[in-house]
Structure formats: C-alpha cells, structure tokens
C-alpha cells in the first residue's frame, strides 16, 4: 500500500481558509469519481494536512496528477508519497494511521518542501521508500521522482484553463468537446495543450493508468 500526505502550500496566508478547504474537498471528491480509486481517500487530519492510501504507486501518482490539475488556481498543495507497510492502531479517538509507509511519506513531504524552497520551485510531489523496503522499491522511488520533477514543473507553469484542458484530455474528452465547454475554438485548445507541454502530462497519465 502507498501512503500519501498532502499539505496546502501557504495555508496561513490564505484569505479564506474555510473556503480553501472546501475547494480541496471538492477537488478530491472529483478525482475519486473520475480517476483511479484510493484504498482510503485523502481526508483531513490536523491543520492543513490530509492523508490517504492507494493500492499501488501508479494509482497514487495518477490520482495526484488529476488532483494537481483539478485544484483551483489560488490553491496549491504538496504531496509526500511513502512506500512501505501501513496499519491502523485502535484508540479511544478512532483508528490511528501508523507504520513505515507513513514515516516514508512524512520524509517525502519534508523533502519536496525543501526542494520547493531552493533547487526546484515547481516541485510538489516526492516519493520515498522506507529504509527497510527491498532495493527494487528504492529504485522505483528514484525513477518516479525523475518524472515527477518534470511533471510538476509543467503543471505549475500551466494557466487555470490549460489545467482544465489537460484534465479533460487525461480522461479522454475530445478537443472539440473541451472547446465547446470553454467557449473557444478547437485549434485554440490544440495550441494551448501544445505550447504548455500538456502532451507529456497526458501521456504519462496514460502510462500510469494502462
């Protein structure tokens, strides 16, 4: 199982934190309906943080691609993805998420936060395999991070409209249908996708969901 921790970028600076949370909840509900299903959907834990579990790394990365594209322009999130066993411990307050997968996800979100501040401002997602995991899992994490750095930079640089168009193309909506929904021409859709590098994001999503 793959553990995912999400936090909101710059949550303390948001003018309306409650509205931002509602927008995030709506985007998560949308991707749960449209895309790869989680084993346990992203849900708020404390502060600006959410946690969820996915059955495979491909499913997690595909869902997070859609979530990045679905978020409104004024809301941005970081994602730490952990490879390792996860469990729940019973308590008087309910089940408590625990295990190496969560520790790895915590390390991952701290890593992407550091990258965002310095080397890669467009980075939003990172994968870490827990140290006890076999070497193939660590190799898988490294390979995933190579692609994620590029994917995240492309999405970070997209306009709100281009993100909507890319989301639609990921799900198989035609350019003609997208043009009608946006009130623009089909060539304008094609140009927006081509100039933003959206094709790479769409193809990567296709590979993750094949």
Give the residue among 129, 77, 76 at the shortest CA–CA distance from 101.
129
**Distance of alpha carbon 78 from alpha carbon 133, whole angstroms:** 24
Tokens of 43: 């849900």
Query: Among positive and negative, which fits the CA dihedral 86, 42, 38, 144?
Result: negative
State residue 94's pLDDT score.
65
**Distance of alpha carbon 169 from alpha carbon 91, whole angstroms:** 44
pLDDT tens track for 101-156: 999 999 999 999 999 998 999 999 999 999 999 999 999 999 999 999 999 999 99
pTM above 0.85, yes or no: yes
pLDDT tens track for 12-63: 778 788 898 999 999 999 999 998 888 888 998 887 889 999 999 999 999 9
State residue 184's pLDDT score.
97
Please state which of the four CATH numbers 3.40.50.300, 1.25.40.10, 3.30.465.10, 3.30.70.270 is assigned to the domain occupying 2-157. Answer: 3.30.70.270
**Distance of alpha carbon 120 from alpha carbon 151, whole angstroms:** 12
* Beta carbons within 8 Å of 46's beta carbon, 6+ residues apart: none
Beta bridge partners of 2: 54, 83
How is the chain split into domains, by residue range?
Answer: 2-157, 159-210
Q: Are 73 and 58 in contact (CB under 8 A)?
A: no
What three-state secondary structure class fits 146? helix
């Amino acid at each position: 199982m793959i553990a995912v921790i999400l936090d909101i970028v710059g949550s303390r600076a948001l003018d309306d934190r409650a509205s931002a949370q509602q927008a995030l909840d709506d985007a998560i509900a949308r991707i749960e309906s449209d895309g790869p299903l989680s084993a346990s959907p992203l849900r708020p834990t404390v502060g600006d943080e959410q946690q969820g579990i996915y059955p495979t790394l491909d499913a997690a990365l595909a869902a997070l691609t859609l979530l990045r594209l679905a978020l409104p322009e004024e809301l941005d999130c970081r994602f730490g993805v952990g490879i390792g066993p996860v469990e729940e411990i019973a308590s008087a307050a309910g089940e408590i998420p625990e295990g190496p997968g969560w520790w790895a996800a915590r390390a991952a979100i701290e890593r992407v936060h550091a990258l965002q501040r310095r080397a890669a401002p467009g980075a939003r997602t990172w994968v870490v395999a827990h140290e006890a995991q076999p070497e193939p899992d660590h190799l898988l994490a490294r390979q995933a991070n190579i692609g994620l750095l590029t994917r995240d930079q492309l999405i970070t640089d997209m306009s709100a409209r281009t993100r909507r168009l890319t989301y639609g193309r990921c799900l198989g909506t035609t350019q003609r249908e997208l043009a009608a929904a946006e009130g623009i021409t089909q060539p304008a859709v094609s140009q927006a996708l081509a100039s933003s590098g959206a094709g790479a994001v769409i193809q990567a999503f296709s590979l993750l969901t094949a």
